[in-house]
Structure 1
């Protein structure tokens, strides 16, 4: 069965998805939508693809079985809810929404039997993260004592932020790096370790760029299990790193995406025993194990494959809609903590955060930035 699909939003990611869908064996791209006419021009000469100037028009008249939503974040929920109401399958680009109140509305939307709501969390397909998750789940090295994630290879120049009026604004995105660049790592963090119980964040709102939202965050995390962690992200550093360190009871694991390997220092005896029984300065001996992960997995294409399988056979989704709530709540909590300079306990009140976000939107200057509508090269974007 061929699945007729429409893409809503033809910016950077939407255009990339159109390219991937054009050659996909299970999907047929039959409709596209964007409010900017210039982005529709490349499709207007193709008789097999219908063009619309709004997502709602495509949903109602596009002749689709499914839609992929790749619009600015604040429109995700409205479009996804409309698509679900008319019986379409829905795949939403990250994040699911800009605030948890909106996400909760989407997740409360009734779905027919077999109707799919999926999220584009493509980093879950990376074999390295899958391997790390299996180590944690199996408790191969005991419990996780501490995690540290530094993800600073998101460098963005000022021209990036002026490439769309919605970018890096409270009204357009609902936040900055935590809503645009880091959702993948926040999703993986919750997927690997569970949602933190509390956060304390230093957030730089326009620290390195002429924007009002966060472009750098350093946060301390605590988990119900007793695990502690640090999360750092920035769009103002270069070359930057993407490095995850996990300290277990019996090992320390380091995954560096640039080196494409996992190093595990396996302890001869668990830390708890060494602390109790070793001599004063006697560190437990460790053996080094190195695993290569040059293959990054199927990424976006694998999520598309999985979305098709879920529609056709009911296969489990890599990232169902519900998976987006924890990471979004974490992003909201980090922003709130950074703005108030106070520790925030999770779960946070969706209405409290909505009041905060609306206040930020009201306070935001309305001055115009230089706007470029062309699709830019994405080769340096994925981490």
Structure 2
């Protein structure tokens, strides 16, 4: 194979962006050959902007069965990521899904099983993994430079959204339409980076969610979660769409110092002697380990969505390792599901989450949701998404 023929399912906000850079030939080895959407206006846009050389379909199955594509990019509402990915994988197509992997882990686990059996290249659009700041952080942690983890604190409140944003679509911020709020829509990237940089998930979660705390919506728009890890380390995750101005600060403490990512910079306060060693050996009463403030050099440029797509294409053509394997999408979702379930039950939740219990609680909320979802995944492709 000299090139990958790509079809995009869903050309709302996200799909349009992907279609545009692919049509311009900005991803080596990739050619956009087909798009799909049930909204006639979006297909008209595709005809006008992508040209007659890109086939247009109203239904995803027709695109998948057309023989025009080797792989598909899925950019539809959250609930439909797994069923469409499964359908494509079973047809022998490579798949790249938008985030999040889905709404609940039970559904995503089945998608992962099908992907593993298919032998096809399965990726997820965790484009923040291309950010050299987080790549360097992961390196510092995985190499042991930070030492054993003690605490993580991520304040990610610069997701401000007005009521008019939520009112722009009946599906928005509903259990039936979106399957969650800030955790499902805005935060999947941070939840992924949290576990990806650390290389582990916590063992249990206690979360407090404000459902419609700052807006007239069904789902969470304010979350404070406390987590515990196997080694005794703890973490706090704070997020909101109701604060202005917001903050994006990720702080990690380990035996060998502290790392902070904020305002596009990574700073490492490195201890000359590990804290646990200093604690055992020091005899001077008041005192603390010598600390060096290190400005860590960051190399590379964030390539974002285009970078993840290029990596996926290269994996198909050349066997390049995926930066964001699709199977790893379940990890961020595990955290979001645990936070929801903890708030719903007003209790601690162990990880992995009790998937049947989560599904039961989710179904109760879907039944009471004001949004009534059209039947079938193909019926939802016309929904505009703007994050």
Tell me, yes or no, whether TM beats 0.5. yes
| Alignment correspondent of 2:39 | 36
Aligned with residue 255 of structure 2, among 242, 249, 252:
249
- Structure 1 pair 326–111 and aligned structure 2 pair: CA distance change class (3 A): closer
Give a deviation string over 1:98-139, Cα, whole Å, max 9, x none.
Answer: 001110111111557751111011111111111111111111
Runs of 4+ aligned residues of structure 1 deviating over 4 Å after TM superposition are 110-114, 292-296, 373-376
Report the 3-state secondary structure (helix = DSSP H, G, I; strand = E; otherwise coil) of the residue aligned with 1:61: coil
Matched, 1:227 2:228: no
Q: Distance in 2 between matches of 1:66 and 1:9?
A: 14
| CA shift for structure 1 position 294 | 8.6
What's the C-alpha RMSD, in Å, of the aligned pairs? 2.1
Give a deviation string over 1:84-109, Cα, whole Å, max 9, x none.
Answer: 11111100000111001110111111
Is residue 115–residue 122 contact of structure 2 (8 Å, CA) maintained in 1?
no
Q: Distance in 2 between matches of 1:330 and 1:71?
A: 22
More relative contact order, 1 or 2 (CA 8 Å, 6+ apart): 2
Q: How does 1:28-67 map to 2 (within 5 A)?
A: 28-45=31-48, 46-61=51-66, 63-67=68-72
Q: Distance in 1 between matches of 2:317 and 2:287?
A: 59
Is residue 72–residue 166 contact of structure 1 (8 Å, CA) maintained in 2?
no
Aligned with residue 172 of structure 1, among 173, 177, 180:
177
Report the 3-state secondary structure (helix = DSSP H, G, I; strand = E; otherwise coil) of the residue aligned with 1:56: helix
Q: Distance in 1 between matches of 2:146 and 2:67?
A: 52
Matched, 1:275 2:279: yes
| Alignment correspondent of 1:209 | 215
Report the 3-state secondary structure (helix = DSSP H, G, I; strand = E; otherwise coil) of the residue aligned with 2:11: coil
Is residue 208–residue 215 contact of structure 1 (8 Å, CA) maintained in 2?
yes
| CA shift for structure 1 position 275 | 3.2
Is residue 84–residue 111 contact of structure 1 (8 Å, CA) maintained in 2?
no
Q: Distance in 2 between matches of 1:37 and 1:374?
A: 12
Aligned with residue 91 of structure 2, among 69, 86, 91:
86
Is residue 338–residue 349 contact of structure 2 (8 Å, CA) maintained in 1?
yes
Question: What TM-score, normalized to structure 1?
Answer: 0.92
- Structure 1 pair 240–295 and aligned structure 2 pair: CA distance change class (3 A): farther
Q: Distance in 2 between matches of 1:294 and 1:157?
A: 36
Is residue 245–residue 255 contact of structure 1 (8 Å, CA) maintained in 2?
yes
Q: How does 1:202-351 map to 2 (within 5 A)?
A: 202-256=208-262, 258=263, 260-276=264-280, 277-291=282-296, 293=298, 296-351=301-356
Is residue 169–residue 213 contact of structure 1 (8 Å, CA) maintained in 2?
yes
| CA shift for structure 1 position 375 | 6.2
Unpaired segments of 5 or more residues in structure 2?
374-381
| Alignment correspondent of 1:3 | 4
Greater shift, 330-339 or 164-173, is seen at 164-173
Is residue 86–residue 115 contact of structure 2 (8 Å, CA) maintained in 1?
no
- Structure 1 pair 349–143 and aligned structure 2 pair: CA distance change class (3 A): same
- Structure 1 pair 152–174 and aligned structure 2 pair: CA distance change class (3 A): same
Give a deviation string over 1:126-174, Cα, whole Å, max 9, x none.
Answer: 1111111111111113111111111111111222222333221111121
Unpaired segments of 5 or more residues in structure 1?
none
Is residue 156–residue 248 contact of structure 2 (8 Å, CA) maintained in 1?
yes
